[in-house]
Amino acid sequence: MDAAHTLLKKTALLFTLALFVTVGGLEAQTGTIAATPNQVTWIFTSGSGVFPASQLLSLTTTTGATTYTASTSTSSNWLLVNLGNSGGAIADGLSLGPSANINSLATGVYQATVALTDPLGGTGSVTVTLTVNGGTTNGLTLTLNPASLTYNAVVNGASPAAQIISVTALSSTGFSTTASTANSLNWLSAIQSSTFTPATVTVSVDSTIFGVGTYTGSVALIANGITQTVPVVLNVSTTGGGSVTLTADKNPISLSGQAGASTPATQVVNVTSSGGSTSVGVAAATAIGNWLTVSPTSGATPLQLTVTASPAGLAASPTPYSGTITVTPTGGNPLSIQVSLTVTAALTVSVSTTALTFTYRAGDTPPAAQTVAVSGGGGALTFAATASSTGNWLIVAPATGATPATVSVSVNPSGLNASPTPYTGTVTVAGTGTATGTTAIAVTLTVSAPLPTVSSVTNAGSFATATTIAPGEIISLFAPNDGTHPIGPAASVGLTLDSTGKVATSIGGVQVLVNNIACPMIFANAKQVNAVVPYELAGFVFSGADIFVRFLGQTSNAIHVNVATTAPGLFTQNVSGTGPGAILNGNSSVNSPATPAARGDIVSVFLTGEGQTTPAGVTGKVTTVAATGPLTPTPLLPISILIGPPGAQQAAGFTFAGEAPGFVSGGMQLNVRIPTTVNAGDQPIVVSIGPNSSQSGVTVSLK
């Protein structure tokens, strides 16, 4: 067996067996902690003494831990972290404090990061931003419209109509409302439509309890600890209120516009009064936003008012936005003109789809173009279409147009390699001129390899075209010479082991199947694939088998062969099937004309196609030397060896015949004793196993 062991170092004579074993240890468990919210923003007004509310945190972790710890990066001690010891919502998660530290902060922006951990390795963080605004109330105050209210009434007459204050803020803000008067009578009331902005406050007065005079009060609105006041004046006279009646020629007023439109909608309203010309004040108020204006804001009747509604900044809505124009005469009852604004969606350029998919197999004709409809919501809008892709394989036409229209999207896959990952590109259709609307169409192109084609199947030792194969035989499959239909990757890949320690049945995206049984893979590139016929094929002896390749998910044509008990093939040094055999001398040198073996010596010959063995061959198993019984599995059928030219052949004996240690099952080693009577020189050698013999033309060099 010394020669056999030496041969294991000479695998280049046969085929490369690259055995890769990855040994890995247990990795430490890691995970993430999700904090909701994971960003906290506070605003503090210096000297106000009003601190933002504590922020509640909800924590979850992918590790399954139920306890957490937290630390903060800030060194200013302005952030307090109070983290509970269980999952879910954590009361008082984050808060400002202590107050002495906060009040000492200079104007500016402060940031801190709260690092979260759990005992099982989960991590997360919360970013906290504190803005100290140096005593100003920017961003904290409400916007009130109008800023003051005046009511006019007549003694013993009806109370004047209620008036509305529009309340808005930079962001949704909670507020409260309180009405108060200069005397002890409760003649003033204020009711807010919502506890959060945007909202309205309806202010009503009861003038029936008063005699002639001027009465004052106020409406206080409190938000973020800041109180803002709207002064209220009630004038009660003996003549003004009941004798002056205002009339508008349009009431209510309905306006419409498109969302985002810069051109406002306008309406002209004529206001007249009974009893002659009367001085009036005019104000506009809205429940949401500040979309309503009126001009002029004062004058004398008859007075022409221009009412303007700007839809810019308003979202399209099926419910009209509402507002009020209040015209207040001197000594009379106010006139409320109701205004509604219907905002419809703007006409924008849109497309019929936002995703296109193309597939292409190398060597085929490019896929047909696909069309996309471009519309403008019923209008004629101009647009531009552009294509973007790495390699410029994506094409769109025309580049410009007007709706309604169609654009054609096509691909030019020449120069693109087959890939399991699709190529991606984007077609962007955007309105031009005054048209709005931009849509990105995601385009994917899957390029698959050409349909693999097997032109021939041979014994990997003899390279003779295989019309018959045997269980355990190493075979070679070849693609056509023109290179148009590769059966494997461009770069050669070799044998690897799977998780069970057997030779893998897939390398480089290539599989070989015999009667749909996956073969252990030894070598693969675009032109040639080597694989081992599964021992399961023993059940098909004396019947047929189909051999085919799968490459990158595509299946080749099938080659039909017969199945026999054996199909011997000797490996050769030039990997051609003829010439000096893959043989080692007894001193471990490679047998060749320059280093011949002596007659009577033992040489090691390597071959494949020996058929089923005892113990039975295991598909994909790497052969090891057994402690008892045969050193390695041996062929079931008898072996004979002839050395010498035809007519002068001499039978040779052997000292070992079995699977080559360290090789995949199917590679056989035969230790042959050279007859002492055979002639010197390069002598033909033929090995028969059972009824079948190896190829002719293989030689052993003798001296």
Tell me what the mean pLDDT of segment 229-240 comes to: 80
More confident site: 2 or 422: 422
pLDDT one-digit tens code per residue, 36-82 = 777 777 777 766 666 776 777 778 888 878 777 887 765 657 777 77
Length, in residues, of the chain: 703
- Topology given in CATH for the domain delimited by 143-238: Immunoglobulin-like (2.60.40)
Is pLDDT above 60 for 29? Answer: no
Domain 456-563 listed as CATH 3.40.50: no
Query: Do the beta carbons of residue 477 and residue 549 sit within 8 Å?
Result: yes
Domain 243-344 listed as CATH 2.60.40.10: yes
Amino acid at 468: T
Q: Report pLDDT for 17.
A: 28
Amino acid at 264: P
Q: Do domains 143-238 and 350-448 have the same CATH topology?
A: yes
Domain spans of the chain, in order of start: 31-132, 143-238, 243-344, 350-448, 456-563, 569-702
Tell me what the mean pLDDT of segment 231-253 comes to: 79
Tell me what the mean pLDDT of segment 603-629 comes to: 94
What's the farthest any 2 CA atoms get from each other in the chain? 151
More confident site: 628 or 604: 604
Structure tokens at 525: 């590139």
Q: Which CATH class is domain 350-448?
A: mainly beta
Tell me what the mean pLDDT of segment 418-426 comes to: 92
Q: Across the strands, what pairs with 421?
A: none
Q: In the chain, what percentage of residues exceed pLDDT 90?
A: 57
DSSP class per residue in 39-69: EEEEEE-TT---PPPPEEEEEEETT-----E
Amino acid at 54: S
| DSSP designation for 695 | -
Is pLDDT above 50 for 13? Answer: no
More confident site: 183 or 219: 219
Give the span between the Cα atoms of 673 and 679, in whole angstroms.
Answer: 14
Amino acid at 311: P
CATH number for the region 31-132 comes to: 2.60.40.60
Q: Report pLDDT for 48.
A: 66
More confident site: 317 or 49: 317
pLDDT one-digit tens code per residue, 468-525 = 999 999 999 999 998 888 999 999 999 999 999 999 999 999 999 999 999 999 999 9
Strand, helix or coil for residue 10: helix
Beta strands 55-61 and 382-389: pairing type? unpaired
Task: List Cα–Cα distances, 597 to 399, 674, 677, 678, in angstroms.
Answer: 78, 8, 13, 12
Q: Report pLDDT for 92.
A: 44
